[in-house]
A and B are shown apart, each in its own frame.
Chain A
């Protein structure tokens, strides 16, 4: 039984139509079908946060989301975060400045998570940032710098 269906996804403000089986996850749709490889696959089971994207403005894991399930929702990936003219989001700029990454593989997920963390109002103290960023593993161990970057960006976003 292979049941291809056509689905329509709105990603970074653009519409895409795809012919996929219902079992295809949003993550594999992005990476294997749409050449949007900024969203990373670290575990494929909700255990690492590398695949974090925004759906209707909230951070979620693309590896446990079926592509079909998010038809009609607004999807934002790391590729859609900077302004159309290439202006970096405050969080992106802070990550660069604070050296909040090394290998860079967890980084798109960290940044998407951080943007949402600030938006949710969960970036009020270093401890709160640590807790609310705990769903994004970083094996390079950039954590202290990530906290610094989120703290910095949170202040910039407010002011």
Chain B
């Protein structure tokens, strides 16, 4: 790891200013930043420690919305009673992410900013070609080991999967990211790789995530998060789905449905085609399984990740069916 200088920010303003300087990076939980600095991927000249800022770690929840301070820890949000009852998918996404220790360190703001786990991205000394790291250098993953790579939202330049669990739940429920002056929908905050895979977020120099806001809804209240992976725990997903469901008074007809996917896409992926296909329909297994296939519209595989195209719709279907069973 390159040497850097360390400053501890004592106000949001100071943090923003310090972070706007060239070579400066914010340090929240450090679980992405320190890791990538050791890999030689992140090379900060200055690390701006925001972990001692006061007031940015609050979690407030009521029926109409939840506000998560950017520095709220993943573990605290996961265990928060209000989140559990009003946004179960958010709590489940969080407690199934990483490990208990990492969740005690990692912040929700940092979580949105985490980088891909593409092994080529993470190993600059062995793989010099990576458009995300070095624009224009090429993509080592294409033609290489692609089992964990995305099938949705890919480009010629990059097929890296976005690994975060939380954001998958957030896009399902139309959450927004507060960046000081600007407030963006999570869906818009994350960018497709296109020709500029190095740009992953719509965030500008001098901006900092201060909070995440999630509007409450009946679908959010009846929601779940399903994560499928090789190992039972402490692993990123092969495929995952956040789903929220609201039924009509008849208890069978779908009034509102939210579906977002992860583990298969280059950014948190809202599956609106599935939602539209099922709204107004009676919830039954065949209909749900058929509609879930729509989640994969436009999917492109790179060999070893082909299984994701089969797997992801099943994860979506099972998540919806599970909600249907919980009357």
Contacts and interface: CB of A to CB of B under 8 A. Distances in A.
Interface of A: 1-3, 5, 21-23, 25, 44-46, 49, 52, 58-61, 63-66, 68-69, 72, 113, 116-117, 120, 122, 130-137
A49 B37 CA distance: 19
A61 B102 contact: yes
Contacts, number: 96
B101 A2 contact: no
Interface in B25-75: 27, 29-31, 34-35, 37-39, 47, 49, 51-52, 75
A102 B2 CA distance: 37
Contacts of B1: 23
B3 A23 contact: yes
Given A59-B101, A135-B100, A135-B101, A64 B34 contact: yes
B51 A69 contact: yes
A66 B100 contact: no
B105 interface: yes
B5 interface: yes
Contact of B27 (A1, A66, A72, A136): A66
B98 interface: yes
8 contacts: A23-B3, A45-B39, A61-B102, A113-B101, A130-B232, A131-B232, A133-B100, A135-B233
B47 A66 contact: yes
B76 to A, nearest CB: 9
A109 B37 CA distance: 23
Given A66-B47, A135-B98, A46 B5 contact: no
Contacts of A69: 27, 30, 49, 51
Given A131-B233, A135-B102, A22 B5 contact: yes
Contacts of B98: 46, 135
A22 B6 contact: yes
Contacts of B51: 69
B3 A3 contact: yes
Given A68-B49, A130-B232, 16 more contacts: A2-B3, A3-B3, A21-B3, A22-B4, A23-B2, A23-B3, A25-B34, A58-B75, A59-B104, A64-B30, A66-B49, A69-B27, A69-B30, A131-B232, A135-B233, A135-B234
A49 B49 CA distance: 23
Contacts of A132: 100
Contacts of B11: none
